[in-house]
Amino acid sequence: MKEEGDLRMRPLQISADTAQKLAASLNVPIEQIMHMPQHILIAKLAELEQKKDHSS
């Protein structure tokens, strides 16, 4: 039974193409991308963007 506020882990709802691009950008296996919590993925993408901005 699913209760309100239940925070079970589930794979990200992204396409395979997007997962492949993220895996390449973050230099991690695609399986890790698919099972990464969304808030961690967003933090890693923000970190990657900051590095990109500083190197420009």
Q: How does pLDDT run across 6-54, given as a tens digit for each residue?
A: 556 676 788 999 999 999 999 999 999 998 999 999 999 999 899 888 8
**Is 11 inside a domain boundary?**
no
The pLDDT score that the predictor gives to residue 4 is 53
Q: What's the token pair of residue 3?
A: 């209760």
Residue 5 belongs to a domain? no
Q: Is residue 45 part of a domain?
A: yes
**Residue 34 is assigned to a structural domain of this protein:** yes
The pLDDT, as a whole number, for residue 6 is 53
- Count of structural domains within the chain: 1
- Please give the pLDDT value at position 22: 93
Q: Which domain holds residue 49?
A: 16-54
Report the pLDDT value the prediction gives residue 5, as an integer from 0 to 100: 54
Higher pLDDT, 20 or 55: 20
Residue 4 lies in a domain: no
9 inside domain: no
